[in-house]
Amino acid sequence: MKKIKIIVVAAFLSVTFFTSYAQQDAQYTQYMYNTISVNPAYAGSRGVLSIMGLHRSQWVGLDGAPRTQTLTFNTPIGGNERVGLGLSIVNDQIGPTDETYFDIDFSYTLPTSETGKLSLGIKAGGHLLNVDFQKLSQFNSNDALFENNIDNKFSPNVGVGVYYHTDKFYVGLSAPNLLETDHFDESTTTSSSDAVSFLAEERINYYLIAGHVFDLSDTVKFKPAVLSKLVFGAPLQVDVSANFLLYDRLTLGAAYRWSAALSGTIGFQISDSLMIGFAYDRETTELGQSQFNDGSYEVFLRFELFKKYNRMLTPRFF
């Protein structure tokens, strides 16, 4: 277990100190239900008030492993289906760090055909970073670098996105954080050297998301989907998934994160307004073979408020 702790701390240090270039956004398996977190143009696209909460525990069993809580809200404004408004709050914890993101999303939609719609979106907000160095197993307890914690370090955020969809198809491209913020710790700067001056350096994350719904029968729908995330300084991440919607109620699926993990997903439409979903990931890397890694778990709950005249005849698959 001691070796595992050392590995987690070493990984944290390599990502967080000495001007890191691989800082990434929170990771999701059920991204198809959480599009608003990565693309502001999605706001209001479902045509109803939609509220979703999600919790993810990654690499369960490893000390300091990532944990993420997400709360999102999005809706058309004032009955105008062209204007959408969204709100996202994300808390991301890993090791001694705790980072909270809060963003407001705005979208404007242009009809392109009888069924096609093109939405343009912008995101604005910020995030707060906390680092508790006392949670680290320090090799040198007198190291000046770890004397002062980081408390509520604020960084602004601006993002953009474009999202096109019909009744059966969608594709989106976005960059939810355009500001490459340096998290600076003034207490570590000395007159002789400033080599160790940045706690973390945010990099732009680019997202491409797409999916298509196929009606296999009156009771079965099939939706393949893909999400690709690119951040310079880190490997390209590609998630592919396949979901089946049975009788407009039960969703069963599987996903593969390229060279990283296999996942199983299940969702149930409890009522017209309420849906619950669960996902389990198993690493395909050497980390997945560790006796201290029980995989990753993700659960979400979505509530949607309908008006009598716009109640969906069948659940939207995206």
Which range has the worst mean pLDDT, 102-111, 178-187, 252-261, 264-273? 178-187
- The string of pLDDT tens digits covering residues 267-307 is 999 998 999 999 999 988 877 667 778 889 999 999 998 75
- The string of pLDDT tens digits covering residues 114-145 is 999 999 999 999 989 998 877 776 666 666 66
pTM comes to 0.82
Q: What is the pLDDT at residue 159?
A: 96
- Mean pLDDT of all residues in 195-220: 82
Q: What is the pLDDT at residue 132?
A: 85
Tell whether the model's pLDDT for residue 105 goes beyond 50.
Answer: yes
Q: Which of 264, 300, 267 is nearest to 281 (CA)?
A: 264
Tell whether the model's pLDDT for residue 73 goes beyond 80.
Answer: yes
Burial class (CB in 10 A: 0-12, 13-18, 19+), 118: middle
* pLDDT interval class at 315 (50, 70, 90): low
* pLDDT interval class at 22 (50, 70, 90): very low
Q: Who wins on pLDDT, 142 or 239?
A: 239
Can you list the domains of the chain with their CATH numbers?
2-310 (2.40.160.40)
Strand, coil or helix: what is 210?
strand
Strand, coil or helix: what is 286?
helix
